[in-house]
Chains A and B, each alone.
Chain A
Amino acid sequence: MTVLVGHPPRRADRAAISLGAMLARSLDTDLVVVSVLPAPWPTAVAGHGDRDHAEWLRSEGAAAVAEAESVLREVAADLPTRALSVVGRSVPTALLEQARAVGARVLAVGSSPDGPWDRVVLGSSASRLLHSAHLPVAVAPRGFATHAVPRFDRVTCAFQGDERSPEVLRRTAEVAVAGGALLRIVTFAVRGRTMFPPEVRGEEEVLDAFVEQARAAQQVAVSALGTGSEEHRDGALAGSVECLVPVGRDWSQSVAAVDWHHGDVLVLGSSPGGVLSRVFLGSHATRILRHAPVPVVVFPA
């Protein structure tokens, strides 16, 4: 069960490979780095330009692989790793094809360069992946590095409290058990947007009720987890699940109200996306993701 990393060629971004290395180390598996290059137009007879393109692909592919390998030597010298380049008409499609081919368990990508440091920012490829992947997609915050913490030691489940949340929690718990990490359950509570300016109260009641409701739902889910399967009980989870309901005026406050450290991974579930059970991020998931200071793993519905 490999960890696959999407590495854009000629972009000196080590975040995705670092994240892939952390996941592979924790999950005790190997690491494959894939760079996707633009595929040529299909032509009956290759002309001069086509031959030029093929030549460019060869050299560019070799450069991308060399670059990936040099990063791998730095951040993942202890792991079985492999770097390759493939051609494809679209980066997300090519990555997903490779993921199927190598039987990947999780796909790791980096953030867009157009965003603040230490935050997850979805670029167009990552965004597309989150909406169409059949496997969990991990997104590294911009500038993510794991020299200090080789493995993740705590997995945080963003628990919305709706009907799908227990399933997300169950899968998060599996990841935590597999990685020997602690499990933490967080429901982010945000004060609703209101008619009145905040001088006139009324919305606090709703927020208070939601906090109570979320606490109760977390307790139910945790106890269901404890009795669910033998595997969990003797894993790292016994008695150590932390439950939090941070409150904020908006999503950034609510996410910031939780303490985060370098070994954290945040897990989100995405909303069910119809018959193909593809990833459709709910509006909450996108908002939490935007403010997350740690790597985020999004499970497909």
Chain B
Amino acid sequence: MSPTVRHQLTRRKPLRLASPHEGPDLKRSFGTFQLMMFGVGATVGTGIFFVLQEAVPDSGPAVIVSFLVAGLGAGLSALCYAELASAIPVSGSTYSYAYHALGELVAMVIAACVLLEYGVSSAAVAVGWSGYFNELLENVLGWHLPDALSYSPIPYEENTTGILNLPAVVLVLMCMVLLIRGASESARVNTIMVLIKLGVLMMFVVIGFTAWSSDHFGGFWDKGAAGISAAAGTIFFSFIGLDAVSTAGEEVRDPQKALPRAIMGALGVVITVYVLVAVAGLSAQPAEEFGSAEQQDAGLSVILKNITGSEVAPTILAAGAVVSIFSVTLVTLYGQTRILFAMGRDGMLPERFSSVNPRTLTPTFNTVVVAIVVACIGGLVPADYLWDTVSIGTLVAFIVVAVGVVVLRRTQPGLERPFRVPLFPLTPLLTVGVCLYILSGLAAVTWLIFGAWLVVVLAFYLVWGRRHAALERSGGPELPAGRVR
């Protein structure tokens, strides 16, 4: 007897299939501080190098408030995420949690969101990298790639257009090679990257403050609440990565205390850095200048050049950005391949996505497909379209997670939860509220793109995935098709 459509849409992957990995012990025990620094490392650098130029024109000096709002949303979401991650001990992302907790249809919606979060953000970050790379070339060699090879062909407002954003494409392909080889970023390299990022941002702050002018903060509230929420939507993107802390829930000593402290601590550091950068930038130049054409590519670097009049500080900043953004692209691209891998394992995507190449021991096919798609997006679409798309995907995913926490507390109250959200019904509800507020600021075209993408993914699911799901093949969720080891 074949299952009904309703059954298919709501079936959940049984939790006992999610038994923890039984291989060799790969875990380490983690303290609050280490976890916090891990969160800072994963978060800082994704957006702050580019986001001021997008957000300040929307909100004016009140961009500082937007940073706080976006940070609040990200922090609350991370708490909800942490509970779900600790209750459902599976590796993977929001997608896996949703499949276990909320059923197949919701999992596909989440998958669509998370693909935007990781895939499009890889492309967006690569585009941002391209700007700083060109700036670095210009400062060091006095030469930069021609516009035709450093801008995408699709116009955005009156920005420069070209044929292809070559540096972005090359960056993504380099990351692909590393991923296929099996690149490792050791904890030490990660720490160095974080220090480089924080170092160049602090340099920006210090130099920015030397050009302090309180006049630039005049008309603080002029753009109003709409401006603040619009900017928060764009800025939200720069807090992605904080959820990485949540997934480490199982390995933390005393998660009930350590996790919220680590998340809040990491958030505190990140918000402080971001707000300092925003204040320094705003104090150094009037808000209108953030939207100017010369600042579109390597914004922070150009501001430094305007302040100091020399090439030294901007070159250091551009170099730091080029090095550290590279590692961010690598990590987001990696996250993307592993989500598709999990989907392939569940039968939601063709099996090739979860096949491991015996020579490299990595999912090679998967990685190549992801890299080609991301390279196309990064090479052809201007970043301005990308930031908001990433934010909308992430926000919707976070809302679903918050709802999932509430639903799971009702449907499976007995489930063991090493970490429970503090102030229970309030925190998830507040998360949904803040996320909805930020979402309300996003442009109509972003919603349109998001809706279209959702339709594409769900159509694929209804036509193909629904019938090929691993649960379908095993004859329903009751079959113990667990991993044999």
- Asked if B184 lies at the interface with its beta carbon under 8 angstroms from chain A, I say yes
B26 and A249 contacting across the interface, CB-CB below 8 Å: yes
**What CA separation (Å) do A198 and B190 show in the bound complex?**
13
Question: Chain A residues near B27 (CB, 8 Å)?
Answer: 198-199
B183 and A195 contacting across the interface, CB-CB below 8 Å: yes
Chain B contributes a number of interface residues (CB within 8 A of A) equal to 41
Least Cβ distance of A263 to chain B in Å?
27
Interface set, chain A 31-74, CB cutoff 8 A to B: none
Question: Chain B residues near A253 (CB, 8 Å)?
Answer: 24
A247 and B28 contacting across the interface, CB-CB below 8 Å: no
B247 and A205 contacting across the interface, CB-CB below 8 Å: no
- Asked if B6 lies at the interface with its beta carbon under 8 angstroms from chain A, I say no
- Asked if B330 lies at the interface with its beta carbon under 8 angstroms from chain A, I say yes
B356 and A213 contacting across the interface, CB-CB below 8 Å: yes
Least Cβ distance of A294 to chain B in Å?
22
Contacts A189-B361, A198-B28, A205-B92 supplied; 14 other A-B pairs, CB < 8 Å: A191-B24, A193-B182, A194-B185, A194-B334, A195-B184, A197-B190, A204-B26, A205-B342, A206-B356, A207-B23, A209-B341, A211-B485, A247-B24, A248-B24
A197 and B38 contacting across the interface, CB-CB below 8 Å: yes
Q: Which 8 A-B pairs have the closest CB atoms?
A: A201-B91, A193-B184, A210-B356, A161-B358, A204-B21, A199-B248, A198-B26, A193-B182
**What CA separation (Å) do A249 and B24 show in the bound complex?**
7
- Asked if B30 lies at the interface with its beta carbon under 8 angstroms from chain A, I say yes
- Asked if B368 lies at the interface with its beta carbon under 8 angstroms from chain A, I say no
- Asked if B345 lies at the interface with its beta carbon under 8 angstroms from chain A, I say yes
A190's closest neighbor in chain B, by CB?
Answer: B361
- Asked if A270 lies at the interface with its beta carbon under 8 angstroms from chain B, I say no
A206 interface neighbour in B26, B183, B186, B338, Cβ under 8 Å: B338
Least Cβ distance of A287 to chain B in Å?
11
A163's closest neighbor in chain B, by CB?
Answer: B358
Q: Give the number of A-B contacts (CB < 8 Å).
A: 110
A197 interface neighbour in B187, B330, B355, Cβ under 8 Å: B187
Q: Chain A 202-236 against B: per-residue CB contact (8 Å), 1 yes, 0 no?
A: 11111111111111010000000000000000000
**What CA separation (Å) do A203 and B190 show in the bound complex?**
18
Contact of A210 with B358 at beta-carbon distance under 8 Å, contacts A193-B182, A195-B185 already known: yes
Least Cβ distance of B283 to chain A in Å?
36
- Asked if B483 lies at the interface with its beta carbon under 8 angstroms from chain A, I say yes
Contact of A200 with B338 at beta-carbon distance under 8 Å, contacts A160-B358, A193-B184, A282-B359 already known: no
B358 interface neighbour in A162, A194, A203, Cβ under 8 Å: A162
B331 interface neighbour in A162, A195, A210, Cβ under 8 Å: A195
B341 interface neighbour in A194, A200, A206, A248, Cβ under 8 Å: A206
B21 and A196 contacting across the interface, CB-CB below 8 Å: no
Interface set, chain B 108-165, CB cutoff 8 A to A: none
- Asked if A116 lies at the interface with its beta carbon under 8 angstroms from chain B, I say no
Question: Chain B residues near A284 (CB, 8 Å)?
Answer: 359
**What CA separation (Å) do A165 and B358 show in the bound complex?**
10
Least Cβ distance of A270 to chain B in Å?
13
**What CA separation (Å) do A265 and B148 show in the bound complex?**
61
B345 and A205 contacting across the interface, CB-CB below 8 Å: yes
A202 and B24 contacting across the interface, CB-CB below 8 Å: no
B28 and A199 contacting across the interface, CB-CB below 8 Å: yes
Interface set, chain B 413-454, CB cutoff 8 A to A: none
- Asked if A115 lies at the interface with its beta carbon under 8 angstroms from chain B, I say no
B23 interface neighbour in A193, A194, A202, A204, Cβ under 8 Å: A204
Q: Chain A 118-138 against B: per-residue CB contact (8 Å), 1 yes, 0 no?
A: 000000000000000000000
A202 interface neighbour in B91, B183, B187, Cβ under 8 Å: B91
Name 15 A/B residue pairs within 8 A (Cβ), A-sorted.
Answer: A162-B358, A191-B24, A192-B182, A192-B362, A195-B331, A196-B331, A198-B27, A199-B28, A199-B30, A201-B21, A201-B91, A204-B91, A205-B91, A205-B338, A209-B363
A194 interface neighbour in B24, B184, B354, B355, Cβ under 8 Å: B184
Q: Chain B 344-362 against A: per-residue CB contact (8 Å), 1 yes, 0 no?
A: 0100000000111011011
**What CA separation (Å) do A193 and B359 show in the bound complex?**
14
B179's closest neighbor in chain A, by CB?
Answer: A195
**What CA separation (Å) do A248 and B361 show in the bound complex?**
13
- Asked if B478 lies at the interface with its beta carbon under 8 angstroms from chain A, I say no
B184 and A247 contacting across the interface, CB-CB below 8 Å: no
Question: Chain A residues near B356 (CB, 8 Å)?
Answer: 206, 209-210, 213
Contact of A192 with B361 at beta-carbon distance under 8 Å, contacts A198-B26, A202-B91, A249-B26 already known: yes
Question: Chain A residues near B222 (CB, 8 Å)?
Answer: none
Question: Chain A residues near B331 (CB, 8 Å)?
Answer: 195-196
